[in-house]
Structure 1
Amino acid sequence: MTLIHAPPELVFDASLSVEVHTTSMTASRERAVAGVTSGRLGPGDRVTWRARHFGVPWRMTSLISGYDRPAYFMDEQVTGPFRRWRHAHHFVLAPDEEGTVMRDVVDFAAPAGPLGAAAEALVLRRYLTRLILLRNAHLKRITEEAATPRD
């Protein structure tokens, strides 16, 4: 869960921006290579990402399969490295009404049977959690800056 001092609409829209996503993932050199490759993703959109994780090139096509602006969206792997990947993004007005509580729920399964399950438990879950936290910190930084009134 991440508290962001910006309105839910702003955080939601930034979360669906291809450019915001790629700038948050510079360490893995992630970029959109097919489908929607710039701008904001919307319901039914597909994007193919190319990145490098663990020194290995990865390619994954995601579909925006659920969409309820500004409260929720879901992206799911259509093709890619996981046996299963679903990432639900929830945005709720903070209790003090001074921002947004953003919550990620990721449901995934590694490929390769028992070997994949071991990699998932030993390395992958922690690695993916760190990636999402990095992305959320980037979203927090840019949306709070955009929401701050200028003199």
Structure 2
Amino acid sequence: MGVRFSRRTVLPASTERCFDLALDVDVHLESFSDSGEQIVGGVEAGGMRLGDDVTWRARHFGIWWTMTSQITAFDRPHSFVDEQVKGPFASFRHLHVFTDLGDGSTEMIDEVEFEAPLGPLGLIAEKAVLGRYMPHLIDVRNRELLVQVQRV
């Protein structure tokens, strides 16, 4: 079954800048410094491209989790997809879409789909916790992107 949600964020920068920052692992690390997120494999700094992967380690709910995600679609500066290739979810897919609003700003849409593991137990986790927690994480990342695009 799984969970789907989307987020819309308007960023005061060009689509190219927003696209590149969204693919930058250093920006991602800054976004999730509160969870002790660190890179333990794959791309270690800077921007990612089609086929690149990164393995993240972070603490959520007091537990350390490891997840490897890969860029599986890449159309600069319009969209990209990152998907879990190894990790805690039965599946995880995140589509990022960037649209020039014509006034020097960019609309960024996040479309996230995920499914927890463990069948019926995972379904309970999706409904009780993950359905709220995962959108919160995307909001945290998007707030950091807003800070980053405003830096000169």
Normalising by structure 2, we get a TM-score of: 0.93
Q: Who is 1:122 aligned against?
A: 128
Deviation at 1:145, TM superposition (A): 2.6
The whole-number CA distance in structure 2 between the counterparts of 1:97 and 1:44 is: 32
AA in 2 matched with 1:87: H
2:140 counterpart of 1:134: yes
| Displacement after TM superposition at 1:86 (Å) | 0.3
User: Mapping of 1:2-151 within 5 angstroms?
Assistant: 2-94=9-101, 96-146=102-152
Structure 1 unaligned blocks of 5 or more: 147-151
- Report deviation, 1:98: 2.4
Q: Cα RMSD over matched residues?
A: 0.8
* 1:35, distance to aligned residue in structure 2 (A): 0.8
Q: Secondary structure at the match of 2:120?
A: helix
Return the structure number with greater relative CO, CA threshold 8 A, min gap 6.
2
Q: 1:19-50 CA distances to partner (integer Å, 9 max, x unpaired)?
A: 00000001111111101111111110011000
How far apart are 1:141 and its partner, in Å? 1.4
1:120 Cα deviation (Å)?
0.5
Count of aligned pairs between the two proteins: 145
Looking at structure 1, the residues matched to 148 and 24 of structure 2 have their Cα atoms a distance apart, in angstroms, of 12
In 1, Cα distance between equivalents of 2:67 and 2:32? 14
Deviation at 1:97, TM superposition (A): 2.7
Moved over 6 A (4+): none
CA distance in 2, matches of 1:98, 1:63: 30
The equivalent of 2:5 in structure 1 is none
Give SS of 1:2's match.
strand
